[in-house]
Amino acid sequence: MLHRPGRELENLMPEYLERLLFDDIPYLKIAQKEHDEFAEILKSKNVEVLYLEDLVVESLSEKEVLNSFVEEFLYEAGIKEEFNIIALKEYFLSLDKKEMVLQMMAGVRKSEITNFEKVHLAEYLESDYPFLIDPMPNLYFTRDPFACVGDKVTIHRMNTHTRNRETLFAKYIFNYHPKYEKIAHLYERQEEFSIEGGDILVLNDKVLAVGISQRTDPNAIEKFALNLFKTETTFEKIIAIDIPKQRTFMHLDTVFTMVDYDKFVIHPNIEHTMKSFVLEKKDKNSLKITPQIGTLKEILESNLKVNGIKLIKCGGDSVVDAAREQWNDGSNTLCIAPGEVIVYSRNYVTNDILDKEGIKLNIISSSELSRGRGGPRCMSMPFVREKI
């Protein structure tokens, strides 16, 4: 599942970038072109590409569902005054459903709605703020708001308010979409502790790696593990990996992705410094937690039962190339088959190393998409993984 970046990117302003988790303003036309290139590669490999907005629309066929969706959306967007709720609800419901969903994603500028009433002091003071509803520019990183784990799904409590709004779409898809409503949930968006999809890596049908990161709390991992092991599942182990709580490390998949049965791309700094723990089922209501000793390579080898694991460093041995390519998501590869990945063109040092390691590369243009700080893996959410 992908989301083609839309008008939400044109509602980014320098003043509010940090809160919206962006560092720059991508040029939408080129970002869309790059994104279409990404989708085309997937399609050419016989991947069925679904779009978030279509799944949301397909989940809203019942009138009551549509109504509560719009109401919840407005509430979470901070629209609390009865009069304004009515005005905006009317506005959204007057649109064609797909247009409505795209408009929700893009946000609503004050200039787009005329009958909005100021009631509270805060609303008068905010008069310079140009939005009634904030844009959701991170939606094209479909990896994060929910994650498919085997035949089940985790719907996430996100770490920030801006991204938490995105998971409403997942809630409606996994409760009301005719095709997906029956999928069992392993986590819900109203949980107390945050977990994001970029931290959840399915390494094979028995082992998961989950990052303890800026975005994912250890308590959330525990709850998710308990819920997972209560169900009928092929998964036996979760390797929880503690990574630095910084934006450059953001999620586990920012610094660590699998490219083959025995190969991973990593940020050079995580090779030696990480603490990790294996979580397994002890009994119905508790977990066995085992601190891991050894290097990342050794920990992966023993838990995956694969010898000779190779960790390929993003940017190679140069600290400068590593830092630059890491910043542009050189470690965030999307593995579409063992030994075959989709990568950004701008990370040519890392790509060259991958090529020499025998990894097949599908290279996509990346001048604009990369400005949101996510790569090909972040921009996709697989619904089904083949057993290989």
Ligand X SMILES: NC(=[NH2+])NCCC[C@H](N)C(=O)O
> Which residue ranges make up the site for ligand X (CB under 6 A)?
21-22, 138, 141, 143-144, 163, 198, 250-251, 253-254, 332, 372-374, 378
Least distance to ligand X, CB of residue 23, Å? 8
Task: Name which of 26 and 315 has its Cβ closer to ligand X.
Answer: 26
Rounded Cα distance between 265 and 260, Å, is: 10
Task: Name which of 92 and 141 has its Cβ closer to ligand X.
Answer: 141
Rounded Cα distance between 303 and 237, Å, is: 8
> Is residue 375 within 8 Å of residue 334, measured between CB atoms?
yes
Task: Name which of 354 and 378 has its Cβ closer to ligand X.
Answer: 378
Rounded Cα distance between 183 and 375, Å, is: 27
Q: Which H/E stretch holds residue 92?
A: helix 82-94
Given the residues 148, 314, 335, 378, the one annotated as active site = 378
Q: What is the end-to-end Cα distance of the chain in Å, rounded?
A: 21
Least distance to ligand X, CB of residue 93, Å? 30
Task: Name which of 251 and 313 has its Cβ closer to ligand X.
Answer: 251
> Is residue 331 within 8 Å of residue 254, measured between CB atoms?
yes
Task: Name which of 5 and 374 has its Cβ closer to ligand X.
Answer: 374
Rounded (10°) angle between helices 63-76 and 82-94: 130
Is 197 buried (19+), middle (13-18) or exposed (0-12) by CB count in 10 A? buried
Task: Name which of 315 and 375 has its Cβ closer to ligand X.
Answer: 375
> Is residue 156 within 8 Å of residue 197, measured between CB atoms?
yes
Rounded Cα distance between 144 and 128, Å, is: 32
Least distance to ligand X, CB of residue 22, Å? 6
Task: Name which of 141 and 235 has its Cβ closer to ligand X.
Answer: 141
Strand partners, 265: 257, 312
Rounded Cα distance between 57 and 370, Å, is: 28
Q: Residue 189: how many CB atoms within 10 A of its CB?
A: 18
Which residues 6+ apart lie within 8 Å of 305 measured at CB?
none
On the CB side of 1, CA atoms within 13 Å amount to 22
Is 314 one of the annotated active-site residues of the chain? no
CA 250 to chain centre: 11
Torsion angle, CA of 247/385/98/3, rounded to 10 degrees?
30
Tokens for 310, please give them.
Answer: 């190779």
Residue number with the shortest CB distance to ligand X?
Answer: 198
Task: Name which of 91 and 372 has its Cβ closer to ligand X.
Answer: 372
Rounded Cα distance between 381 and 293, Å, is: 32
Rounded Cα distance between 11 and 53, Å, is: 18
Q: Residue 313: how many CB atoms within 10 A of its CB?
A: 23
Q: From 8, 19, 28, select the one nearest 369 (Cα to Cα).
A: 28
Task: List residues with catalytic annotation.
Answer: 378
